[in-house]
């Protein structure tokens, strides 16, 4: 911890209290950091693939300082040291939606949380996008990246599955701002409402059906009804859900 303290004191006022995070990610080691000025999250990665993802997350947070600063953590610093990548950001108060649903005292409270999630995601997808911001087709890029990961053996998806995705590719829909990994683990709840996104390394302009599929992937039928009380812009088809959740997501 001594070396970690030295690294962090370049960006945060000492003394620092550093503890292992209560919630650990799949791709990084997470620490909680506190000082007299606030609370922070530190993510550390060693694997090349995940270091690249962490670097992308830092870039998203940097760009979000103007447009989306109210719905994502504040970037404090990104740096590398001795083969590891470090991302330091503000800590969002509250619990993940996954935790909040488990802690809900009754069905009504749970459904209100899920409806809030739908509303929050709908607001993201309806953000205006300037024409100059539009990249090449997001799904093209994702399928190319999926092929790279499959050939390297660094994902759960296979080349056979990838061929199925190419064959069953859904029709194009207008692209929007998306989270890109919009599971219930990656949105934060405070005072009964979803207030922020976390793990935003894949936030970009892309296909909103991907967010929608990942959002509802673990919901019961009743929970999906609650979600769509808030998410009113579109309802994904079963075929689209299968493509994005059971297909594309396997590569990421």
**Sheet with 84-90, side-by-side order of all strands:** 17-20, 29-35, 38-45, 84-90, 75-81
What is the structure's pLDDT at 136?
76
pLDDT at 70: 73
Confidence of residue 134 (pLDDT cuts 50, 70, 90): low
Reduced DSSP (H G I as helix, E B as strand, rest coil) percent helix, strand, coil of the chain, to 5: 45, 20, 35
What region, left, alpha or beta, does residue 20 occupy, with left being phi > 0 and alpha being psi -120 to 50 degrees? beta
Residue burial 189-203, b: 16+ Cβ < 10 Å; e: rest: beeebbbbbbbbbbb
Number of helices followed by number of strands (H, E) in the chain: 9, 10
The DSSP 8-state label assigned to residue 9 in this structure reads: T
Contact residues for 115 (Cβ-Cβ < 8 A; gap 6+): 226, 227, 229, 230
Look at residue 169 in the predicted model and tell me its pLDDT.
Answer: 96
**Rounded CA gap, 216 and 229, in Å?**
13
Domain boundaries, the chain: 2-90, 95-251
Percent of the chain at pLDDT above 70?
A: 96
Asked if the bond preceding 251 is cis, omega within 30° of 0, the reply is: no
Tallying the residues shown for the chain, one arrives at 252
Fold of 2-90: Phosphorylase Kinase; domain 1 (3.30.200)
**pLDDT higher than 70, residue 43:** yes
Amino acid 64: pLDDT: 84
Q: Which CATH architecture has domain 95-251?
A: Alpha-Beta Complex (3.90)
Contact between 178 and 129 (Cβ < 8 Å): no
Q: Which residues, 6 or more positions from 8, have their beta carbon under 8 angstroms from its beta carbon?
A: 16, 18, 33, 42, 88
Q: Note whether 212 and 219 are within 8 A (CB).
A: no
pLDDT for 64-95, tens place per residue? 876 666 799 999 999 999 999 999 999 999 99
- Residue-level pLDDT at 39: 97
Q: Quick one: angle between helices 208-216 and 107-125, nearest 10? A: 170
C-alpha closest to that of 207 among 125, 99, 113: 125
**Residue range 156-171: average pLDDT?**
97
Q: Could you tell me which residue, 131 or 169, shows the higher pLDDT?
A: 169
């Amino acid at each position: 911890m001594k070396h970690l303290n030295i690294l962090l004191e370049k960006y945060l006022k000492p003394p620092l209290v550093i503890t292992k995070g209560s919630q650990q990610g799949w791709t990084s080691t997470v620490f909680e950091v506190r000082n007299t000025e606030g609370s922070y999250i530190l993510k550390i990665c060693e694997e090349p693939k995940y270091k690249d993802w962490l670097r992308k997350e830092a870039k998203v947070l940097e760009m979000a300082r103007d447009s989306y600063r109210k719905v994502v953590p504040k970037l404090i610093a990104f740096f590398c040291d001795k083969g590891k990548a470090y991302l330091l950001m503000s800590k969002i108060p509250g619990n993940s939606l996954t935790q909040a649903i488990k802690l809900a005292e009754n069905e009504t409270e749970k459904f209100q949380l899920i409806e809030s999630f739908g509303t929050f995601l709908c607001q993201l997808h309806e953000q205006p996008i300037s024409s100059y911001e539009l990249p090449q087709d997001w799904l093209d890029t994702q399928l190319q990246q999926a092929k790279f990961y499959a050939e390297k053996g660094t994902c759960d998806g296979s080349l056979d599955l990838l061929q199925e995705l190419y064959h069953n590719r859904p029709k194009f829909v207008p692209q929007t701002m998306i989270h890109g990994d919009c599971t219930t683990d990656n949105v934060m709840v405070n005072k009964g409402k979803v207030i922020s996104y976390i793990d935003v390394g894949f936030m970009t302009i892309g296909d909103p059906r991907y967010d929608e599929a990942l959002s509802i992937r673990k919901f019961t039928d009743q929970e999906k009804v609650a979600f769509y009380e808030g998410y009113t812009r579109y309802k994904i088809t079963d075929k689209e859900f299968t493509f994005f959740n059971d297909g594309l997501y396997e590569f990421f």
